[in-house]
């Protein structure tokens, strides 16, 4: 966490994005922060393959999921760049929480922003499993939005 803040400002904000309404709120909050701090936003979407993986199906799933998410993120990035915020979109395949944490370390982000529940979490009373795992293991501060 040595490079977390530069001159008291955020430099890089990572958003876990799955297209859910909670992820949209997380993205909105990250964009507002980025706008006020002149930060870069990295939007990461993760496709989680079914388990257990079979070789042929896993490869097909990964390719189809990556293409679908890349199209979605491309449209999103076009819309967001109109706000003049520096934005980067990325796709990963794996467990969402682990991929978010890996990307946070790799990119040396200053803040992770995630929704309180993603598209697969339905329990209204608890924090989603992805956001809870990220919050517990992140190498930097985490903002969980509602």
Q: Mean pLDDT, 10 residues at a time, over the chain (146 residues)?
A: 56 93 91 90 86 62 72 73 82 92 96 80 58 95 94
Distance from CA of residue 47 to its chain's centroid? 11
pLDDT at residue number 126: 45
The three-state secondary structure class of 136 is helix
CATH of the structural domain 12-145, one choice from 3.30.390.50, 3.40.50.620, 3.30.1540.10, 3.30.420.40: 3.40.50.620
Domain residue spans of the chain: 12-145
Q: How far apart, in whole angstroms, are the C-alpha atoms of residue 77 and residue 81? A: 6
pLDDT at residue number 35: 87
Global pTM value: 0.80
pLDDT at residue number 42: 95
Q: What is the largest CA-CA distance in the chain?
A: 50
Q: How far apart, in whole angstroms, are the C-alpha atoms of residue 55 and residue 15? A: 30
pLDDT at residue number 122: 46
């Amino acid at each position: 966490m040595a490079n977390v803040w530069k001159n008291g400002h955020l430099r890089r904000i990572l958003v876990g994005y799955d297209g859910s309404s909670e992820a949209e709120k997380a993205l909105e909050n990250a964009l507002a922060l980025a706008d006020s701090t002149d930060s870069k936003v990295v939007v990461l979407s993760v496709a989680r393959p079914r388990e257990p993986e079979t070789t042929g199906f896993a490869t097909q799933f990964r390719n189809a999921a990556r293409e679908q998410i890349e199209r979605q993120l491309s449209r999103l990035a076009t819309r967001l760049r109109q706000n003049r915020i520096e934005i980067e979109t990325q796709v990963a395949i794996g467990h969402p929480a682990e991929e978010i944490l890996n990307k946070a370390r790799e990119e040396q982000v200053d803040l992770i922003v995630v929704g309180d529940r993603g598209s697969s979490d339905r329990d209204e009373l608890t924090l989603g499993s992805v956001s809870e795992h990220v919050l517990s293991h992140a190498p930097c501060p985490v903002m969980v939005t509602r």
